[in-house]
């Protein structure tokens, strides 16, 4: 992030997967953590505070996490526009596999009906973005039962695997998201650095 603020690197999109982890955003409410420390330890789930927006969410194997590091000059220094653009990236990518993702008025992320398939939580410092999105591909959805996901108690969580039966190959999803990211944000070229971690833009 600092390197981008100082102009030493260009905009980029990091794509990765976390071990079982709960992250707390800047608006977290402790009562939204439903499991005891003993239960979390038994399941090998770590807890980490972050400076992103939002409440509490789960990251883990089978989930594709994207961390855009880019200067918001590209979005007119408009954080709301940036978040809507991230949603658009995911909505367009999901359509590739016949999944109709959509926005839910007043709630951030991408939804399929009443279930969230992708969460978004961002931080911006000196107009450079940090954190990003988490797309449930083959995620163990039972882990979301340990929390009130994103502080929303009356809606569910889903995954590509649950909706499709069998999820596409991870690399295929990464390439499609990278392509859609470049399309939505107006990049001319995409340099694929690694199938596992980094897409440099």
**Catalytic residue positions?**
150
d(CA 82, CA 104) in angstroms, rounded, equals 16
Token output for 140 = 């163990």
Q: What is the pairing mode between strands 128-136 and 63-69?
A: antiparallel
> Please, which contacts does 120-124 make with residues 24 or more away whose CB atoms are closer than 8 Å?
120/54, 120/83, 120/86, 120/87, 121/23, 121/25, 121/50, 121/52, 121/53, 121/54, 121/57, 122/52, 122/53, 122/79, 122/82, 122/83, 122/86, 123/50, 123/51, 123/52, 123/53, 124/72, 124/79, 124/82
Q: Give the total residue count for the chain.
A: 201
Run of H or E including 160: helix 160-164
Q: Rounded to 10 degrees, what is the CA torsion of 166, 170, 171, 174?
A: 110
Q: At what angle do helices 170-185 and 79-95 cross, to 10 degrees?
A: 140
């Amino acid at each position: 992030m600092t390197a981008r603020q100082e102009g030493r690197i260009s905009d980029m999109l990091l794509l990765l997967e976390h071990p079982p982890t709960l992250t707390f955003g800047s608006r977290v409410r402790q009562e939204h953590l439903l499991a005891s420390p003993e239960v979390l330890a038994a399941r090998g789930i770590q807890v980490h505070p972050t400076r992103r927006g939002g409440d509490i969410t789960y990251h883990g194997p089978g989930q594709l996490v994207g961390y855009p590091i880019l200067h918001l000059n590209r979005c007119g220094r408009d954080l709301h526009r940036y978040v809507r653009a991230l949603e658009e990236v995911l909505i367009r990518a999901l359509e590739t596999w016949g999944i109709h993702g959509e926005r839910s008025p007043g709630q951030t992320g991408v939804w399929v009906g009443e279930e969230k398939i992708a969460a978004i939580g961002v931080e911006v410092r000196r107009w450079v973005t940090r954190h990003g999105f988490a797309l449930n591909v083959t995620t163990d959805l039972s882990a979301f039962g340990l929390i009130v996901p994103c502080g929303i108690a009356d809606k569910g969580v889903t995954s590509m695997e649950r909706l499709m039966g069998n999820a596409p190959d991870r690399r295929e999803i990464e390439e499609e998201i990278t392509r859609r990211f470049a399309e939505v944000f107006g990049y001319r070229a995409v340099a694929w650095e690694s199938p596992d971690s980094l897409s440099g833009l």
